[in-house]
Amino acid sequence: MSKEKKIYIADDETNIRLGIKAFLENAGYIVEDFETGDLLLKAFADSPADLVILDVMMPGSNGFAVCKRLRISSRVPIIMLTARDSDLDYATGLDLGSDDFITKPFSPMALVMRVKAMFRRMEYDRLIFTERDQLTGVFNKTSGINLIENEIMISDENLIHAFYMIDLDNFKNINDYLGHDVGDKVLIETAGIISDIFRKSDIICRFGGDEFIVFAKNIVEMEYAFKKAEEICSALQKNYGNEKSICISASVGIAYYPIHGLTYDVLFNCADKAMYEAKENGRDGYSVYSQSESKQKHGK
Would the pTM count as exceeding 0.85? Answer: no
- Is the Cβ–Cβ distance between 233 and 250 less than 8 Å? yes
* Residue 291 confidence class, pLDDT cut points 50, 70, 90: low
69-116 confidence digits (pLDDT tens): 999 989 899 999 988 766 777 788 788 889 888 888 888 888 999 999
Helices then strands, each counted (H, E), the chain: 10, 11
CA distance 14 to 55: 12
Among the ranges given (16-20, 123-127, 262-266), the one the predictor scored with the smallest mean pLDDT: 123-127
Beta strands in 59-119 (DSSP E): 78-82, 100-103
CA distance 268 to 247: 27
138-156 confidence digits (pLDDT tens): 999 998 999 999 899 888 8
Q: Domains of the chain (ranges plus CATH)?
A: 6-129 (3.40.50.2300), 141-293 (3.30.70.270)
Cis bond before residue 105 (omega within 30° of 0) = yes
Residues 6+ apart with CB under 8 A from 249: 168, 169, 170, 233, 236, 237, 283, 284, 299
Q: What is the pLDDT of residue 295?
A: 47
Question: Following CA atoms 40, 43, 44, 49 in sequence, which dihedral angle do they give, to the nearest 10 degrees?
Answer: -90
Among the ranges given (41-55, 122-136, 226-240, 277-291), the one the predictor scored with the smallest mean pLDDT: 122-136
Phi-psi domain of 199 (left: phi exceeds 0; alpha: psi -120 through 50; beta: other): beta
- Kindly give the pairing relationship between strand 78-82 and strand 51-55: parallel
